[in-house]
Amino acid sequence: MLNLSVLAAIGGPEISLAVHIATAFAVTGAVFFQWWVLHPTLEGRDESEDLKEALRLRWRMVLKVAIVLLLLTGFYQMWAIGLPKGKVDPSYHMWFGIKFIAALGVIFIASALAGQSKALAGMRAKGGTWLAVAAILALIILWLSQALARMGAA
């Protein structure tokens, strides 16, 4: 089993944070690109159904990798950086909880829009609205993350 203390000693938190930030900005950028460019361009064009499905398939694969990276690095950071900060300032946990729920919201919306589930077809039919919700949530998450980063170090 991977020893987390060894990982911390060899610069794990810095590497993890870099991967987390790169992935977070890639996902946020992709959500904005879909909202502002892709969705309005392709919406209502019957001839683009094949292209839309191909784009969804490709994005689905990228999104899965991004979600795994965000969760792995996020939980690792919580262990390595967040828990010590939470001991100094207990409100850290509350703000982290809000950020985590908002992040789950973005992950859910992005997955629903990229997926094929019939139960979520209604969300895909209102793709523009849901992309706007995901983009705004992502901005709130970035702001919360900055606030968490500034909170009391141990």
For position 77 contacting ligand HEM by CB under 6 A, the verdict is: yes
The H helix count followed by the E strand count for the chain is 8, 0
For position 132 contacting ligand HEM by CB under 6 A, the verdict is: no
| Residue tagged 């919306």 (tokens) | 109
Distance CA 112, CA 122 (A): 10
Residue 28 CB, nearest approach to ligand HEM (Å): 5
For position 138 contacting ligand HEM by CB under 6 A, the verdict is: yes
When CB distances to ligand HEM are compared, the closest residue is 74
Identify which range of 37-45, 52-60, 120-128, 136-144 contacts ligand HEM by CB under 6 A: 136-144
Distance CA 151, CA 154 (A): 10
For position 149 contacting ligand HEM by CB under 6 A, the verdict is: yes
- The contact pattern for ligand HEM, residues 20-59, with x = CB under 6 A and - = no contact, is xx--x--xx-------------------------------
Pair 96, 145: CB distance under 8 Å: no
From candidates 8, 26, 78, 120, binder to ligand HEM by CB under 6 A: 78
Distance CA 121, CA 124 (A): 5
CA 62 to mean position of chain CA atoms:
12
Phi (first) and psi of residue 49, to 5 degrees: -55, -45
Binding site for ligand HEM (CB under 6 A): 20-21, 24, 27-28, 70-71, 74-75, 77-78, 81-82, 85, 100, 103, 106, 138, 141-142, 145-146, 148-149
